[in-house]
């Protein structure tokens, strides 16, 4: 007799966040949607996470213990092992806010066959306000039921059509962590899928005490963004984005007193060119313009600006935004 497959697989990637993981598992078990499996992919934890799952959630959770820290592509392993038609990613320092988040994710994917990813609203668990990680979205042409077109989902709370994930290749192995969401979102848009944001599906981000070191962020953030530009952007546009990142990125690193780490990341990016250039596959410029337009509109809405005023505010905006405002189609 064939084994009945669940409609949904919820995947969590874990590395040494036992207490946060316990809170998330309890949050998931309180969800109303029951036609699902819970899958934890463990990246070689040494803090007792596996023992905790075995003791407290043995009957509720399936565990893939990888034995080493593979980085963000542990999520790829989870998708390959998933039994559901749809998959949801929830980071281990998140909790689901509403009891029907999973139910809504499944319904939105079922209702829109073009949806490759449906993104959750991301709240700051401490303040209850919208997190800076919340997806950037286009208000025009959307509503709460159909969702809003988003440039990039936040990987801490997002649902996928598994077919779309597999078709577009998942997260890039070379990134390890950071900028994996923008890479995959670009592939989804380029393949004809939509990324949509739904503000009534919420996750709360606790910013775990076992957070990633700031030094690691400031080293991998510029490296991975440069690699992203060099893999997918037309040459002239990619060169411009490289200059913009070097300009603004250094300013940010100096402000945070992380100049050394940032410079190491830039050096790593250039040293990695022989590894990245064979992966180069320019994306349709209209896709890149669309994603940029959504970011521009989100920026302007949050600050009460119109696009022309925003462009007039800074040299870099004058150089790059007019092109996307003129050429993008949504």
Centroid of chain to Cα 166 = 16
pLDDT value at residue 240: 85
Q: Quick: pLDDT tens for 84-130.
A: 999 999 999 999 999 999 999 999 999 999 999 999 999 998 898 99
Q: How far apart are CA 35 and CA 66, in angstroms?
A: 26
Centroid of chain to Cα 124 = 16
Q: How far apart are CA 280 and CA 276, in angstroms?
A: 7
Q: What is the DSSP string of 95-121?
A: EESSTTHHHHHHHHHHH-TTEEEEEEE
Greatest CA separation for the chain: 66
First to last CA, the chain: 47
Give yes or no for a contact between 170 and 158, defined as CB atoms under 8 angstroms apart: no
Q: Where in the chain is the domain with CATH 3.90.550.10?
A: 8-205
Orientation of helix 18-29 relative to helix 49-56, angle to 10°: 30
CATH class of 8-205: alpha beta
Per-residue pLDDT of the chain (330 residues; tens, 9 = 90+): 456 889 999 999 999 999 999 999 999 999 999 999 999 999 999 999 999 999 999 999 999 999 999 999 999 999 999 999 999 999 999 999 999 999 999 999 999 999 999 999 999 988 989 998 899 999 988 898 899 999 999 999 999 999 999 999 999 999 999 999 999 999 999 999 999 999 999 999 987 555 567 788 899 999 999 999 999 999 888 888 898 889 888 888 888 889 999 999 999 999 999 999 999 999 998 898 889 888 888 888 887 877 666 555 554 455 555 555 555 555
What tokens appear for 99 in the block?
Answer: 């009891």
Whole-model pTM: value is 0.90
Rg over alpha carbons for the chain, rounded to the nearest Å, is 20
CA-based nearest residue to 315, from 229, 240, 235, 262: 240
C-alpha torsion angle, residues 196, 188, 74, 112 (rounded to 10): 40
CA-based nearest residue to 10, from 81, 107, 109, 93: 81
């Amino acid at each position: 007799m064939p084994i009945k497959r669940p409609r949904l697989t919820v995947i969590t990637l874990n590395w040494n966040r036992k207490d946060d993981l316990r809170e998330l598992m309890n949050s998931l078990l309180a969800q109303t949607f029951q036609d699902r499996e819970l899958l934890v992919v463990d990246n070689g934890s040494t803090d007792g996470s596996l023992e905790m799952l075995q003791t407290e959630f043995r009957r509720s959770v399936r565990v893939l213990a990888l034995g080493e820290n593979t980085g963000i592509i542990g999520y790829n392993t989870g998708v390959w092992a998933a039994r559901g038609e749809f998959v949801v990613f929830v980071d281990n320092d998140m909790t689901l806010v509403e009891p029907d988040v999973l139910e809504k994710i499944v319904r939105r994917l079922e209702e829109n066959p073009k949806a490759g990813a449906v993104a959750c609203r991301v709240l700051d668990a401490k303040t209850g306000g919208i997190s800076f990680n919340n997806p950037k979205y286009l208000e025009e042409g959307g509503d709460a039921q159909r969702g809003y077109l988003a440039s990039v989902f936040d990987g801490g709370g997002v649902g996928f059509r598994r077919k779309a994930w597999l078709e577009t290749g998942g997260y890039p192995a070379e990134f390890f962590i950071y900028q994996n969401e923008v890479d995959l979102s670009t592939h989804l848009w380029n393949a004809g899928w939509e990324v949509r944001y739904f503000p009534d599906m919420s996750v709360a981000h606790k910013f775990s005490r076992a957070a990633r070191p700031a030094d690691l962020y400031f080293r991998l953030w510029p490296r991975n963004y440069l690699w992203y530009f060099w893999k997918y952007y037309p040459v002239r546009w990619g060169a411009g984005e490289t200059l913009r990142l070097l300009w603004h990125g250094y300013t940010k690193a100096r402000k945070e007193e992380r100049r050394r780490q940032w410079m190491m990341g830039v050096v790593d990016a250039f040293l990695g060119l022989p590894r990245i250039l064979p992966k180069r596959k320019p994306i349709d410029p209209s896709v890149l313009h669309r994603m940029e337009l959504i970011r521009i509109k989100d920026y302007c809405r949050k600050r009460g600006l119109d696009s022309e005023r925003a462009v007039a505010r800074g040299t870099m905006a004058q150089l790059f935004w007019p092109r996307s405002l003129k050429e993008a189609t949504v």
